[in-house]
């Protein structure tokens, strides 16, 4: 059976980008067709400036949101990365397989480094080695598929390279995974800066729809979205009209229609924005209601995470042990 692994990083409140680009598909399709593991990758949240209490809070909140989005612990495994030691164990091995140059070429490393340096902050070493940990996350479980948004495909490509290299040098140990980006909404853009992705760790929040935003807030953010100055109605043109194209992509992802077809239905930005706002509010309504229920009973989420970690550990352990043996480490007597 196909195995799937994917994750979210608790560096901020989850966004519409996370949902449309990844989580919705995990819940609606992936968990039902494959053996699936979904992880809140808290170790990754320590690669940038962080507040310990906030990371802890966001980790539990992200887990609650995954369940609220429809991940069913009866059919898939939901857990927290730091609860399973195998991730850190294998990450070190992947650091011994990757090169410094490969890590430095990662777009996210370059972007985040530039941002940290502009703010006069140091860059944590773990930001550089981030893709080794991400490769470990995926390879520890022998995942065939990794459903992610566009921004993560480069990391999954590197994971493939590392798996192939390890297998060639030390004997077949890892399944070589592939990224499976969604057909629509692979890159939801910021509503205020539609040339950049909607990212949960950004400081400016007016262009970001959070999954737990109130309906009125969602509506306000969509109505204030930057549109383009082009004349002549609503057109779907990502290069020339990125703001409008982003709204059309979001509405398409909410309604299941094609963005191009939707463009033909509108002759004003105002109407497009109103319908997009309404579609997002309706899309998130059930998720928000379920999240409120889980928040009232945190012990449910904690129980799911405890069982999830046990199941994940049992799967990862043999693969990571095999990788340790293959690379030359003496097994304990
Ligand atoms: P993260 O937490 O940034 O994002 C989680 C998922 O949401 C997708 N995503 C988006 N999709 C469309 N439009 C957007 N604006 C948008 N923003 C985020 C991401 O592509 C991702 O699928 N490095 C990963 C976490 C990770 C991971 C893994 C993922 C760690 N180990 C192993 C898969 C497998 C990350 O930072 O995702």
Over the stretch 150-181, which tens digit does the pLDDT of each residue have? 999 999 999 999 999 999 999 999 999 999 99
Q: Is 197 a catalytic residue?
A: yes
Contacts of 55 (CB under 8 A, 6+ apart): 10, 11, 42, 45, 46
Task: Report CA(318)–ligand 1 centroid distance (Å).
Answer: 26
For residue 35, what pLDDT band results from cuts at 50, 70 and 90?
very high
Query: Does ipTM surpass 0.85 in this model?
Result: yes
pTM: 0.97
Task: Report CA(105)–ligand 1 centroid distance (Å).
Answer: 18
Q: Is 220 a catalytic residue?
A: no
Ligand 1 atom 7: residue of nearest CA:
18
Query: Tokens for 203?
Result: 């400081």
Task: Give the pLDDT score at 204.
Answer: 86
Contacts of 273 (CB under 8 A, 6+ apart): 222, 223, 225, 227, 247
Ligand 1 atom 19: residue of nearest CA:
149
Q: How far is CA 292 from CA 158, 296, 308, in A?
A: 38, 6, 22
Q: Are 15 and 6 in contact (CB under 8 A)?
A: no
Give which of 78, 92, 69 is closest to 302, Cα–Cα: 78
Ligand 1 pocket by Cβ (under 6 Å): 5-9, 17-18, 21-22, 41, 44, 134, 137-138, 146, 148-149, 151-152, 155, 185-188, 197-199
pLDDT beyond 70 at 146: yes
Average pLDDT over residues 235-244: 92
Task: Report CA(9)–ligand 1 centroid distance (Å).
Answer: 7
Average pLDDT over residues 199-208: 88
Best residue for ligand 1 mutational test, from 37, 149, 185, 190 (most atoms within 8 Å of Cβ)? 149
Q: Is 273 a catalytic residue?
A: no
Strand order in the sheet with 76-80: 76-80, 35-40, 3-8, 145-146, 178-179
DSSP conformation class of 266 = -
Count of alpha carbons within 13 Å of 300, Cβ hemisphere only?
16
Q: Are 247 and 261 in contact (CB under 8 A)?
A: no
Domains and CATH numbers, the chain: 3-181+298-327 (3.40.50.620), 215-293 (1.10.240.10)
Task: Give the pLDDT score at 9.
Answer: 98
DSSP secondary structure of 61-76: HHHHHHHHTT--TTTE
pLDDT beyond 70 at 231: no
- How many percent of the chain have pLDDT more than 70? 99
């Amino acid at each position: 059976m196909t195995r799937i692994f994917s994750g979210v990083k608790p560096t901020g409140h989850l966004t519409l980008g996370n949902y449309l680009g990844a989580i919705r598909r995990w819940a609606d399709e992936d968990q039902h067709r494959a053996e699936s593991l979904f992880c809140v990758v808290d170790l990754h949240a320590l690669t940038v400036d962080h507040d310990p209490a906030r990371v802890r809070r966001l980790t539990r909140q992200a887990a609650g949101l995954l369940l609220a989005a429809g991940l069913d612990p009866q059919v898939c495994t939901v857990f927290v990365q730091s609860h399973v030691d195998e991730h850190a164990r294998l990450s070190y091995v992947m650091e011994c397989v990757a090169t410094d140059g490969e890590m430095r070429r990662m777009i996210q490393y370059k972007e985040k480094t530039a941002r940290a340096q502009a703010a006069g902050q140091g860059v944590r070493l773990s930001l550089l080695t981030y893709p080794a940990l991400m490769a470990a996350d995926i390879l520890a479980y022998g995942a065939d598929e990794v459903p992610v948004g566009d921004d993560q495909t480069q990391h999954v490509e590197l994971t493939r390279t590392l798996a192939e290299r390890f297998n060639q040098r030390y004997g077949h140990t890892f399944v070589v995974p592939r990224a499976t980006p969604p057909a629509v909404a692979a890159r939801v853009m910021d509503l205020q800066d539609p040339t950049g992705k909607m990212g949960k760790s950004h400081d400016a929040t007016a262009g970001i729809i959070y999954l737990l935003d109130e309906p009125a807030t969602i509506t306000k953010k969509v109505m204030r979205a930057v549109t383009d100055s082009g004349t002549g109605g609503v057109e779907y043109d990502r290069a020339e009209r990125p703001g409008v194209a982003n709204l059309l992509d979001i509405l398409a992802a909410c309604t299941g229609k094609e963005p191009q077809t939707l463009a033909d239905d509108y002759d004003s930005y105002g109407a497009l924005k109103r319908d997009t706002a309404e579609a997002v509010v309706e899309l998130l309504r059930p998720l928000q209601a379920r999240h409120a229920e889980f928040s009232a009973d945190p012990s449910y989420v904690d129980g799911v995470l405890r069982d999830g970690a046990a199941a994940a550990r049992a799967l990862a352990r043999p693969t990571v042990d095999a990788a340790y043996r293959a690379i030359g480490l003496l097994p304990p007597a």
